Amino acid sequence: MTGVAASGPAGEPIVIEAVSHRWGDLAALDGVELRIEAGETLAVVGPSGCGKSTLLSLICGLTEPSSGSIAVGGDRDGAGRLRHCALMPQNDLLLPWRNAIDNAALALVNAGASRDAARDAAAPLFEQFGLGGFEREHPSRLSGGMRQRVAFLRTLLAGKGVLLLDEPFASLDALTREDLQLWLRDALEREGRTAVLVTHDVDEALRTCRWIAVMSARPGRIVLHAETATLDRAAVLGALRG
């Protein structure tokens, strides 16, 4: 499969400084410090409930931290951060009444493009994403892996410099997941955007991204931040176990 063309916007840096967050009486994050350079890819791993998804919500401006600060592309307010970010949730959220190309092009239509113009923008990428010939199929006729590729294409076509991916392959079988992990690594390398991938899968983190951040149990803290090339699975598991 050919890779994704580097046709998107340049990546934006993310700076997270002393961020803590509470949901009512529940402490979700405690003193998180991270700097993600423009164009870098970071996998965030940690036990269930440690605040990984909360961190994505904070980065993209859907939530403001209880304390500390986050800047994306230099913008610190929530609305400013959101302008730089596209979020891909765990569930693909494809609209069942729209075919694949119209689902992929949805962000462009929502931004004011005509349906024909949005389809024209999305169409050249379908072959690159391994979806050639499936443009007119509805989600019910696509495999789980194909649905996730359509969802990722929709995320890219939002035209943002920062991609936030929240366990996008968690619901897939092991063989499909491994295939898509390698595909995603190739896509992210060619896109050149900044990407943060939240996952519970250590192998996925090491296989997909250049950097890894390991979080502790709730309230989540960063206990390891390193390049994946310098680590093996045992080192990451050791950090997870404390």
Q: pLDDT class for 100, splitting at 50, 70, 90? A: very high
pTM for the full predicted model = 0.90
Average pLDDT over residues 30-39: 97
Cis status, amide bond into 219, omega within 30 of 0: yes
Q: Which stretch of 5-9, 59-63, 103-107, 123-127 has the lowest confidence by average pLDDT? A: 5-9
CATH code that applies to domain 14-95+154-241: 3.40.50.300
- pLDDT over 60 at 57, yes or no: yes
pLDDT band (50, 70, 90) for residue 4: very low
Determine the Cα–Cα distance for residues 46 and 3; give it in Å rounded to an integer: 29
The residue-averaged pLDDT of 8-14 equals 85
Helix (H) or strand (E) holding 26, with range, is strand 26-36
Task: Round to whole Å and give the CA distance between 190 and 184.
Answer: 10
Q: Note the pLDDT tens digit of each residue in 171-215.
A: 778 878 888 888 889 888 888 999 999 999 999 999 999 999 999
Q: What is the pLDDT of residue 69?
A: 97
CA 145/CA 153 separation, integer angstroms: 12
pLDDT band of residue 21 (cuts 50, 70, 90) is very high
Q: Please choose, from the candidates 49, 56, 157, 65, the residue with its C-alpha nearest in 3D space to the C-alpha of residue 109.
A: 157
pLDDT above 90 (res 242):
no
Task: Give pLDDT, residue 2.
Answer: 34
If pLDDT is split at 50, 70 and 90, which confidence band does 76 have?
very high
pLDDT > 90? residue 127: no
Mean pLDDT of the chain: 91
**Interval 203-227: pLDDT, tens:** 999 999 999 999 999 999 999 999 9
Domain positions in the chain are 14-95+154-241
Task: Give the DSSP letter of residue 6.
Answer: S
Tell me the pLDDT band of 3, cut-offs 50, 70 and 90. Answer: very low
Q: How far apart are CA 18 and CA 10, in angstroms?
A: 26
Residue 8 pLDDT > 70, yes or no?
no
- The Cα 139–Cα 150 span in angstroms is 9
Task: Indicate the pLDDT class of residue 90, thresholds 50, 70 and 90.
Answer: confident
Tell me what pLDDT residue 52 has.
95
Q: According to the model, what pLDDT value does residue 170 have?
A: 81
**pLDDT > 70? residue 6:** no
Q: What average pLDDT does the segment 64-76 reach?
A: 97
CB 228 within 8 A of CB 211: yes
